[in-house]
Amino acid sequence: MRPYSPGKPIDEVKRELGLSEVVKLASNENPYGPSPKALQAMQEALPHLNLYPDASQFDLKAAISRKFDIPSEHLIVSNGSDQIIHWLGEIFLGSPIDEVVTSTPSFQKYDGTALLADCVLKTIPLDAEHRHDIGGLINAITENTKLVFIANPNNPTGTIMKRQELDALIGRLPKGAAVVLDEAYHEFADFDADYPNGLDYVKAGMPVITLRTFSKAYGLAGIRLGYAFAPTEMVEALNRIREPFIVNNLALVGGIAALSDDEHLKRTVQGNAAERARLTEFLKEQGLQVIPSHANFVMVDLGQPSQPVFDALLREGYVTRPGTVLGMPNFMRISVGTADEMTGFFQAFARVLEQTKVHA
Ligand SMILES: Cc1ncc(COP(=O)(O)O)c(C=O)c1O
């Protein structure tokens, strides 16, 4: 099993390169910061940190339940959706013939569930448009399949699986299996008729687990808070194995406040749409091919190994994600920043292109 390779932290880059200003466009975090309402709620909770958190997570679950109009029996919350991915492996996988099906490249954590359980991992390459290969995924499903992980939008490509494709995939699941629809970037997707909302599938009683997170659009990656909608029997199983105090006091109140902060969410989503369009346009103007993104990052084909471009950008104070660690060595994933961050990035990127001659 390869260890997870996270985006380089700002302080590390400052230390290593002696830079005073560093912009991180590497981990798809929210460039507008946490919701001010969440910050205030967390500040008010500070004096009570001597007490253990509410193990039932009653108020947070009630708030999520109200917001998405789904009974809290369908909800599991945790310190990040990463943790829920890990637990799903624990409750679904047990026998060496069990199979996990997923796409590649996709979010690396899915592979770990199969590798930890020592069962069969089937990774299906994305298609020529860098989308989930629905035919390949369906063909890979057998009677031993237990979990099918689909990131929608996909990380690192930002592409989506369409509603009809997801319906076909679910239709092929054997009894006892489930699709895990990872909607970490859900809030940034274009809600057209083609885009399936995982919540609808859970509400309809389908074998679907829909993962969401406070780490991206809600700007709370540092507090670690994620959740999932799932059939009640799966929630019961997850509740049996989870650590009781997995969500800390600050995350419990910060999550509730962030959910109520429509203004912050709107600013984030609108800012992302505007800057994602600008970033895409800029990269195309440099003669580069960009994968159309439904998320808060853009995957660009540099037409040459990404590592030297990554290194040169780092020296300019911009941390991006080289495709080398994402399974697409000639690509680079760039998180969408604020307008000012993007303007600075464009200048640095143009200089780096000149040095590395990627556009030649
Ligand atoms: C597709 C996908 N799923 C899950 C996560 C992890 O989210 P969390 O911070 O809730 O653990 C990420 C984070 O980058 C992601 O890209």
Judgement on whether residues 27 and 51 belong to the same structural domain of the protein: no
In ligand 1, which atom is closest to the CA atom of 107? 1
Give the contacts of 28 (CB within 8 A, at least 6 positions apart): 155, 185, 216, 295, 296, 297, 335
Does the structure show a pLDDT above 60 at 261? yes
Q: Is 80 in the pocket of ligand 1 (CB under 6 A)?
A: yes
The mean per-residue pLDDT over the stretch 266-273 comes to 98
Output the CA–CA distances (angstroms, integers) from residue 106 to 210, 326, 360, in the order listed: 16, 8, 30
Q: Is the dihedral of CA 100, 102, 104, 109 positive or negative?
A: negative
User: Is there a domain that residue 67 lies in?
Assistant: yes
Last residue in a domain, options 240, 260, 280:
260
Measured in angstroms, how far is the CA atom of residue 357 from the centroid of ligand 1?
33
The mean per-residue pLDDT over the stretch 4-22 comes to 86
Burial zone of 243 (CB within 10 Å; 0-12 exposed, 13-18 middle, 19+ buried): exposed
User: Is there a domain that residue 183 lies in?
Assistant: yes
pLDDT at 2: 78
Judgement on whether residues 253 and 352 belong to the same structural domain of the protein: no
pLDDT band at 4 (very low <50, low <70, confident <90, very high): confident
Last residue in a domain, options 260, 276, 308:
260
pLDDT band at 7 (very low <50, low <70, confident <90, very high): confident
H-only helix segments in 93-159: 109-117, 134-140
Judgement on whether residues 80 and 182 belong to the same structural domain of the protein: yes
Residue numbers of the domain that contains 335: 10-34+263-356
The mean per-residue pLDDT over the stretch 170-187 comes to 98
Last residue in a domain, options 243, 260, 277:
260
Mutation probe of ligand 1 site: the residue of 110, 152, 215 with most atoms within 8 A of C-beta: 215
Measured in angstroms, how far is the CA atom of residue 359 from the centroid of ligand 1?
32
The mean predicted confidence, pLDDT, of the chain is: 96
Question: Which uninterrupted H or E stretch holds 253?
Answer: helix 249-260
Instruction: Kindly report the CATH number assigned to the domain that includes residue 140.
Output: 3.40.640.10
In ligand 1, which atom is closest to the CA atom of 215? 9
How confident is the model over 98-135, as pLDDT tens digits? 999 999 999 999 999 999 999 999 999 999 999 999 99
Judgement on whether residues 348 and 222 belong to the same structural domain of the protein: no
pLDDT band at 360 (very low <50, low <70, confident <90, very high): very low
Judgement on whether residues 254 and 114 belong to the same structural domain of the protein: yes
User: Is there a domain that residue 3 lies in?
Assistant: no
Instruction: Kindly report the CATH number assigned to the domain that includes residue 324.
Output: 3.90.1150.10
Judgement on whether residues 218 and 114 belong to the same structural domain of the protein: yes
Measured in angstroms, how far is the CA atom of residue 356 from the centroid of ligand 1?
32
Measured in angstroms, how far is the CA atom of residue 27 from the centroid of ligand 1?
9
Judgement on whether residues 251 and 271 belong to the same structural domain of the protein: no
In ligand 1, which atom is closest to the CA atom of 85? 4
User: Is there a domain that residue 138 lies in?
Assistant: yes
Judgement on whether residues 288 and 151 belong to the same structural domain of the protein: no
Question: Who has greater pLDDT, 307 or 190?
Answer: 307
Mutation probe of ligand 1 site: the residue of 79, 82, 161 with most atoms within 8 A of C-beta: 82
Question: Who has greater pLDDT, 7 or 52?
Answer: 52
